[in-house]
């Protein structure tokens, strides 16, 4: 499958799909992308670490979830430089993408934030439909290390940035999509 599929999206957009681990984010994003395109693009941001068999198995499960309709691309940093114009794209996931910047910049949160914001702002200019998957780390356990706490805070700041530029924000809870943005107007009589 070629990345040069000529299916034109009706409108460029960004949908942020966030939630906890195993909440159904990837499955939901993939289903939505397939409803919009016969040949969506999946951008994997994970870095493989030597001797991490469990993580490798996770990646294999994710790959098995996609059939030959998908074009898969692995990119650790510069997603905005990929040929994504006029595509329907799933970016999976911001947390791993941000981890790449955080590690590269030796745990400097401000440099990492600057780099990923530049990428996100560049993505916003691409004529494509994006489903961006992220994690709500701040809803989980409190990190035990300083680096872990810095990363959790950084992830929260990045999620807020994406939510601000996104057309739609979905929170996945136990496999159920909850629309956060745009909010529906209150019904008459609701207070």
- Residue-wise pLDDT tens digits, 156-181: 999 999 999 999 999 999 999 999 99
**More confident call, 21 vs 154:** 154
Domains of the chain: 13-181 (3.40.50.300)
**Is the preceding omega at residue 182 within 30 degrees of 0, hence cis?**
yes
Rounded Cα gap, residues 188 and 140, in angstroms: 36
Which residue stretches of the chain are H helix?
25-36, 53-64, 94-104, 109-124, 146-165
Per-residue pLDDT tens digits for 10-40: 579 999 999 988 889 999 999 999 999 999 9
Rounded to two decimals, the pTM is: 0.85
Which active-site residues does the annotation give? 62
Q: What is the mean pLDDT of the chain?
A: 87
Per-residue pLDDT tens digits for 40-89: 999 999 876 556 777 677 767 767 778 899 999 999 999 999 999 999 99
Per the CB < 8 A criterion, the answer to whether 11 and 36 are in contact is no
pLDDT at position 79 is 97
């Amino acid at each position: 499958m070629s990345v040069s599929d000529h299916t034109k999206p009706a409108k460029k957009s960004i949908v942020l799909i966030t939630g906890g681990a195993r909440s159904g984010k990837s499955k939901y994003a993939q289903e939505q992308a397939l409803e919009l395109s016969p040949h969506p693009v999946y951008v994997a941001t994970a870095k493989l670490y030597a001797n991490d068999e469990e993580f490798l198995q996770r990646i294999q499960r994710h790959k098995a979830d996609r059939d030959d309709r998908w074009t898969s691309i692995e990119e650790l940093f510069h997603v905005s430089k990929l040929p994504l114009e006029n595509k329907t794209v799933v970016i999976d996931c911001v947390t791993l993408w941000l981890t790449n910047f955080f590690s590269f910049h030796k745990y400097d949160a401000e440099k990492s934030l600057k780099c990923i914001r530049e990428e996100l702002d560049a993505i916003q200019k691409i004529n494509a439909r994006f489903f961006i998957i992220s994690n709500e780390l701040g809803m989980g356990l409190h990190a035990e290390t300083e680096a872990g706490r810095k990363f959790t805070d950084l992830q929260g700041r990045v999620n807020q940035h994406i939510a601000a530029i996104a057309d739609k924000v979905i929170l996945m809870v136990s496999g159920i999509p909850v629309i956060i943005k745009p909010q529906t107007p209150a019904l008459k009589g609701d207070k």
